[in-house]
Amino acid sequence: MALAPAGATGASGSRPRVVRRRTWESGHVSVQEVDEGEIELLRARVDPDLRGALSRSFELGFLGSMPIGDQIDHALGFVAVLESCLGGAPGSVIDLGTGGGVPGLVLLSCWPDARVVLMDASERRTEFLSETLQARAATGAGEVIRGRAEELGRQGGFREQFDAVTSRSFGIPALTAECGASFLRPGGWMVVSEPPDVAPEERWPRNGLTVVGLERREIVRVSGRFGYQLLHKTTGIGDRFPRRVGIPAKRPLF
């Protein structure tokens, strides 16, 4: 994965933060690392009031048991990876199954000039997120959308419209790939949070990804705590995808 050149500008016109990485080979998989110092620099870009909103989300049961500070750092891993892939901030990004707002709210805080869509099927969660954006006087770029990815991925305002797709815990790899690819423009990047010590060739088989126009790229480890699988959209997605609601999970492509 190419690093952003110094002085280059990203999709939104902002100056990218150059991410330094150590790279090595693990079998046929290139693994790269973002260190803790780089995450510390990114923390300064997060709105201080965001911690309070995420604490309320946690109290409502919308977030997992991980401490809020660690959840923010996990979200910042998506920021670091995507800014390196794209050479700066994306012009548009959709967070699949954003839940209580991680990483979506952190992405919006770091990329205020981007179109950031927080998508979830839950009425309670999307109502909370809408209220949170209104309370924080968020403007323009932040959107909260309630719906199923299989249906939204066929709508003109969403289908292949995004520079980037993020997924923290949307679903199994085949479901995430099929639904995520429907939102991602050709040339865009999908970043999926991954558990430790996984075999990417088993979770993300190349032949299965090709069906929806995706190509498996590196795994990135951030500050020794979090892992992210990179997927690159190489071609447009076929008209038959995504399949109707529930089918991508019941009859996964791989």
Contact between residue 141 and residue 114 where contact means Cβ atoms under 8 Å apart: yes
DSSP SS3 for 89 = coil
Q: What is the pLDDT of residue 29?
A: 40
Give the integer Cα–Cα distance in Å for 202 and 194.
13
Q: What is the pLDDT of residue 223?
A: 87
pLDDT in tens, 107-122: 999 999 999 999 999 9
Cβ–Cβ < 8 Å for 115, 143: yes
Tens digits of residue pLDDT in 134-166? 987 655 579 999 999 999 999 999 999 999 999
What pLDDT is recorded for position 133?
Answer: 93
Q: What is the predicted pLDDT for the residue at 30?
A: 52
Which segments within 195-225 are labelled E, that is strand?
214-222
Task: Give pLDDT, residue 46.
Answer: 96
Quote the mean pLDDT of the chain: 89
114 HSE (CA, 13 A, CB side): 32
Q: Is the pLDDT of residue 186 over 60?
A: yes
Is the pLDDT higher at 101 or at 3? 101
Q: What is the mean pLDDT of residues 218-235?
A: 95
- Residue 222 has which token pair? 């951030």
**Direct distance between the N- and C-terminal alpha carbons of the chain, in angstroms, rounded to an integer:** 25
Assess contact for 141 and 108: CB atoms under 8 A: yes
| pLDDT tens digit sequence for 26-37 | 333 456 889 899
Task: Quote the pLDDT of residue 4.
Answer: 39
Q: Between these two residues, 79 and 24, which has the higher pLDDT value?
A: 79
Sign of the alpha-carbon torsion through 156, 239, 185, 25: positive
- Helical (H) or strand (E) element with 186: strand 184-194
Architecture of domain 22-250: 3-Layer(aba) Sandwich (3.40)
Tokens found for residue 109: 């805080």
d(CA 135, CA 52): 12
Look at residue 179 and give its three-state secondary structure.
helix
Q: How far apart are alpha carbons 92 and 187 in whole angstroms?
A: 13
CB 54 within 8 A of CB 193: no
Q: Summarize the confidence of residues 155-183 as an average pLDDT.
A: 98
Q: Is 3 exposed, middle or buried (0-12, 13-18, 19+ CB in 10 A)?
A: middle
pTM of the model: 0.88
Task: Give residue 93's pLDDT.
Answer: 98
pLDDT at position 136 is: 77
Q: Are 46 and 38 in contact (CB under 8 A)?
A: no
Residues 247 and 150 sit within 8 Å (Cβ to Cβ): yes
Nearest alpha carbon to residue 53 among 95, 96, 109 = 109
pLDDT for residue 191 is more than 80: yes
Between CA 86 and CA 109 the distance in angstroms is: 18
Would you state the pLDDT for residue 32?
85
- 97 Rama class: left (phi>0) / alpha (psi -120 to 50) / beta: left
Percentage of residues in the chain with pLDDT exceeding 90? 81
**Which bin fits 155, alpha (ψ -120 to 50), beta or left (φ > 0)?**
beta
